[in-house]
Structure 1
Amino acid sequence: MSQPASSGRAPDGAQTHDLRILAILSMLMAFASISTDLYLPALPTMARSLHASTGTMEYTISAYLVGFSLGQLVWGPLGDRYGRRTPVSIGLVLFVLGSAGCALAQSPASMIAWRAVQAAGACASVVLARAMVRDLYSGNKAAQMMSTLMTVMAIAPLLGPSVGGIILHFASWRAIFWTLVAVGLVTLAAQRTMPETLPSGRRNHEPLSRAFANYGRLLRNRRLLGYAGASGFFYGAVYAYIAGTPFAFITYHHVPPQLYGVLFGAGILGIMVTNQVNARLVLLYGSDRLMRWGTLAAALSGLVLAVDARTDWGGLIGLFIPLFTFMSVAGFIVANSIAGALGCAPERAGAVSALIGSVQYGTGILGSALVGVLADGTPWPMAYVMTLMGLACAASALLLVPVARASRPEPVRRAG
């Protein structure tokens, strides 16, 4: 049952309810990061154990991203038709099976295949957790909740590689995947304590074939395209950053690997800070306005980055500052664009969430691939790709999302 948000301080019971929902949704959305970040330090060890080249082991990341991107397109309509809990549970079971398969893999081919299964299960949790936010909240409140979730999610890439390294120090690389099996089982148990957020009366009962066909109809929504473009192009820049910074910092600027972790972690901390700032400002200024500010900041920092990378002006610091700025504005772009997109078609929140997620990871694959194709031993390819993505991100927000509704108050709805 829905109820309007009240002014003033929420009752203790409501705060406890929100915290429990936040904890469970955070666990579900964290699967996007922990499935890869935890095992990154073990890649060289895995390559030796499975008698594979470094390039072959990198396919385990590519297989995961492809599975994660395409799998969302399936789980979204399923969640709109059958509710959120059952598809999420099935996805978590798939994740557990995929993780166990990775732990038992005896060849690179089987590892790549099980990583795809793992991704197909993990993406159900992420895509439907976003839809659950839209089930429970609307308008700027949904953007505020999404921003808080993004802050919690940022802890996973911040700590994941370090935790994976600790596990690898005391056990074999297979223990990392058994740890993911345990995480999946714990999340499955926790998720079963959360009530269904999409009652049968609000579900989309049309045939799944028609539901899948509706992706074309959603893509004809100009406003939705704006949100998808802002979020998607920004993800393209993020994955260009992930692919390019190890070479830009360590190879080109001779940064020690230990310091690289600090520089990378600084960007994650920047994202966490701006997500919290966004959560505080969104009810005052509106999610669309903050999203536009964020995309403009990304475009401008991308241009500065391109100049610094091309001229080597400022050396390492000259490169780090615009990179840090670019990554930090994620707090104003991602949560607000997702919330805005979900608001375009709340009756198909699962499908919209799937479409946004697929665009994000699809563009991410493109961004990282372009950096590899254009690689010339300098930071320029990374900067070039990030600049183009930043400009496209700003253009999507400014040209496709109408300004008129940016500050219009929207009702806040919460499941009671």
Structure 2
Amino acid sequence: MRQPPVRRPSLLVLVMIASIGPLALQVLVPAMPGLASDFGTDFSITQMSLSVYLVGMVVGQLVYGPLSDRFGRRPVLMAGLVVYVGGTLFCLVAWDIVPLIIGRAFQALGGSAGIVLARAIIRDIHDREGSAQMLAYATAGMILAPMIGAIAGGYLYEWYGWQSVMLLVLVIGLLVTGVCIVGLSETNTRRTSRTSFRDIARDCARLLRKRRFLGYALQITFTTATFFTFLGGASAVAVVIYGRSPSEYALWFVLVSGSYMTGNFISGRISRRVGIDRMITIGTVISSAAALVMMILFVSGWFVLVHFFLLAGMMSLGNGFSMPNGFAGIVSVEPGRAGTASGLSGALQMSLGAIAMTVIGHTLAESPLPVIVIMLVLSLLALIAHLHGTRGEVP
């Protein structure tokens, strides 16, 4: 019996779905120093709202992907959105830092559904190269939304307090839920019958035994950890080590983020013609070369702050080439397990990213060398993982 034609969601809907998790992560960051005084606690305690959020995203991605392979993308996404909205409501009425942290955990668990399922939906409705093209455009939108959200969150906190930031997240969550109710149909026409924890673990193990999947997943994981290393250390390098203002750092950060968006847009234009594996190779070579030049400049004594951000921007451009194509590769290894593949790779991403951020926080002191070394090592590992994963295999 023929399957009925799938109604394709628009790119805007997919960007909205994928952005809610990263948006909620970033929107509260400008308020973090103030939250400590608002709740009468230490800054280290308020930082737990970020750590817990990252853990929630890891757990959520492991769960939602396999469930969506069995029950469909739409019902699992709607369940995630309900959790997201519920967690935001709990944050909004928090009377202490502990309830706020608990609410953030549920926000993350719900928001992670959007990240996993947007990728799986794109693979449901596009072929391998078409997925890379759509993921490139969607990723560019995903980067833009948290950037705007962080700016809006800073102003809202300054003008109206932290509750206004949570109110913004709630409104956006309700808006995305309404859009999905009206504009998102089911796209998974290849359901599995695997629902138990043992089945999910078996599917994950099956994917991890595939060299091609592992190559894509590790390339994405190492590349993401490179960005988290930059994110965790760049502000300290600019403001503490080189004595620049936070506003100057913000301008440099826009350059780096803009470079990543540019890479995604270019990738969206040429991925189908060039091919996803070649795009990943080009991107990882660019990133590794930029990190190597950064190291050479530092060792030679010619290193200045402008070199750090310009070369980080070049690395981000390369990452913009490689990341969406890596995601397309991940969900194309076994299209029938696209949700599981997306969730597993996403959990690996967030786990190593959080570790990298923690390591840089404990090693960065009076020199940018730890940031440079870690970014160089991770960039080279991403290149090696990709070359090994695709060596001698046919997609």
Please give the range of the TM-score, normalised by the shorter of the 2 chains.
over 0.9
Any residues of structure 2 matched to 1:359-398 within 5 Å, and which?
359-398=348-387
TM-score, normalising length: structure 1? 0.90
In 2, Cα distance between equivalents of 1:309 and 1:67:
37
TM alignment of 1:254-273, pairs within 5 A: 254-273=243-262
Residue aligning to 2:214: 225
3-state SS of 1:329 partner: helix
**RMSD of the alignment, in Å?**
1.9
Name stretches of at least 5 consecutive residues in structure 1 with no aligned partner. 5-13, 407-416
The alignment status of 1:203 with 2:186, answered yes or no, reads no
Give the one of 134, 138, 144 matched to 2:123.
134
Superimposed CA distance per residue, residues 337-393 of structure 1 (whole angstroms, 9 cap, x where no aligned partner): 010111101000100000111111111011111112222222111111111110110
CA distance in 1, matches of 2:321, 2:276: 8
Match of 1:206, SS state, is coil
User: Aligned runs of 1:25-44 on 2, under 5 Å?
Assistant: 25-44=14-33
Secondary structure at the aligned position of 2:109 is classed as helix
Q: What is the alpha-carbon distance in structure 2 between the residues aligned to residue 287 and residue 324 of structure 1?
A: 22
Give the match for residue 171 of structure 1. 160
* C-alpha deviation, 1:306, in angstroms: 2.4
Aligned residue in 2 for 1:88: 77
Check whether the contact 1:84–1:128 (CA below 8 A) recurs between aligned residues: yes
For 1:119, the equivalent position in structure 2 comes to: 108
Matched position secondary structure for 2:357: helix
Counterpart contact for 2:67–2:195, Cα < 8 Å: no
The equivalent residue for 1:278 is 267
Amino acid at match of 1:308: L
Write out per-residue CA displacement over residues 384-408 of structure 1, whole angstroms, 9 at most, x where no aligned residue.
Answer: 11111101100011111136647xx
Letter in 2 for 1:211: I
1:310 to partner: Cα distance: 4.5
Written as runs of structure 1 = structure 2, the 5 A alignment for 1:240-389 is: 240-389=229-378
Aligned residues: 392
Is 1:400 matched up with 2:389?
yes
Whether the 8 Å contact between 2:119 and 2:342 is mirrored in structure 1 is: yes
- Out of 143, 151, 160, which is 1:154 matched to? 143
Task: Give me the TM-score of the superposition, normalised by structure 2.
Answer: 0.95
1:103: Cα distance to partner? 1.9
Pick from 172, 182, 188: which aligns with 1:183? 172
C-alpha distance in structure 2 between counterparts of 1:318 and 1:125, whole Å? 36
Partner SS state of residue 120, structure 2? helix
- How big is the shift at 1:307? 3.0
Q: Is the 8 A contact 1:36 1:61 kept in 2?
A: yes
Specify the SS of the correspondent of 1:94: helix
Q: Distance in 1 between matches of 2:179 and 2:129?
A: 27
1:11 aligned partner: none
1:309 CA displacement: 4.0
Percent of aligned pairs with the same amino acid: 28
Aligned to 1:49: 38
Structure 2 residue 55 is the aligned partner of structure 1 residue 59: no
Residues in 1 aligned to 2:148 and 2:366: alpha-carbon distance in whole angstroms: 29
Partner of 2:181: 192
CA distance in 2 between partners of 1:224 and 1:118 (Å): 29
